[in-house]
């Protein structure tokens, strides 16, 4: 619990620096009706590669990134893993605009798409891999949607924050950008933790 609180605090500090440097608005300044629940902190590219490698993303599969930020997960999924379709959902209009420009510049329009919208509303029925860099509390809120919509065999990959109550079938650490990042991979339908395990 304390690790999550510490990472959350670091999230917010890094977000302020990144947004100030890039001229982006923080969530307090946004005018969208839906307020983002997670600060934007980009996942280092080597960590993205490790996430997709652990998820065993294949060329004939669809990748969905919920909270897509600057689109780097989608771009790496398309260019390095040759995923058939890469869709990102991002609520911050400035990030969506920047990501779309980057996608167009790389001529990836036919493979990569970033949607300006609410990640809770995007349908996941045909997703093969879903990537998340969200807080544990947000992962908890997403669980019913993931359990209801994702098909058997689909993989959920989370960066730093677990899916409460699920047992990952892969957990790995990678050191990058001055700290250790933890990656959790879950396969649908998820294995559930025993109620007694929460008290250990």
The answer to whether residue 99 scores a pLDDT higher than 80 is yes
Distance CA 65, CA 124 (A): 11
* Cβ atoms 181, 160 nearer than 8 A: yes
- How many other C-beta atoms can be found within 10 angstroms of the C-beta atom of residue 23? 7
Alpha helices in 84-198 (DSSP H): 93-105, 136-149
Residue 54 has phi, psi (to 5 degrees) of -65, -30
Residue 92 · residue 35 · CB < 8 Å: no
Statement: the pTM of the whole predicted model exceeds 0.75: yes
Dist CA 15 CA 6 (whole Å): 14
Count of CA atoms in the C-beta half-sphere (13 A) of 172:
14
pLDDT, tens only, 13-57: 554 454 445 444 433 333 344 556 788 899 999 999 999 999 999
Question: Using one digit for the tens of pLDDT, what is the confidence trace for 57-91?
Answer: 999 999 999 999 999 999 999 999 999 999 999 99
User: Whole-angstrom distance between the N-terminal and C-terminal Cα of the chain?
Assistant: 14
Q: Are 60 and 116 in contact (CB under 8 A)?
A: no
Going along the chain from its start, the domains and CATH numbers come out as 43-199 (3.40.50.150)
Q: Is the pLDDT of residue 186 over 50?
A: yes
- What mean pLDDT value characterizes the chain? 86
């Amino acid at each position: 619990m304390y690790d999550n609180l510490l990472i959350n605090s670091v999230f917010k500090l890094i977000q302020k620096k990144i947004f100030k440097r890039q001229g982006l608005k923080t969530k307090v300044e946004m005018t969208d009706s839906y307020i983002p629940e997670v600060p934007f902190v980009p996942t280092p590219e080597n960590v993205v590669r490790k996430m997709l490698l652990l998820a065993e993303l294949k060329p004939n599969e669809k990748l969905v990134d919920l909270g897509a930020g600057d689109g780097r997960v989608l771009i790496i999924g398309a260019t390095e893993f040759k995923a058939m379709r890469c869709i990102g959902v991002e609520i911050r209009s400035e990030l969506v605009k920047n990501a779309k420009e980057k996608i167009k510049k790389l001529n990836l329009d036919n493979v990569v798409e970033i949607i300006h919208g609410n990640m809770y509303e995007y349908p996941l029925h045909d997703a093969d891999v879903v990537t998340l860099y969200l807080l544990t509390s947000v992962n908890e809120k997403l669980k019913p949607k993931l359990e209801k919509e994702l098909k058997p065999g689909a993989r959920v990959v989370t960066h730093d924050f677990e899916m409460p109550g699920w047992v990952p079938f892969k957990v790995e650490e990678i050191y990058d950008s001055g700290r250790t990042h933890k990656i959790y991979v879950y396969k649908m339908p998820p294995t559930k933790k025993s109620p007694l395990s929460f008290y250990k």
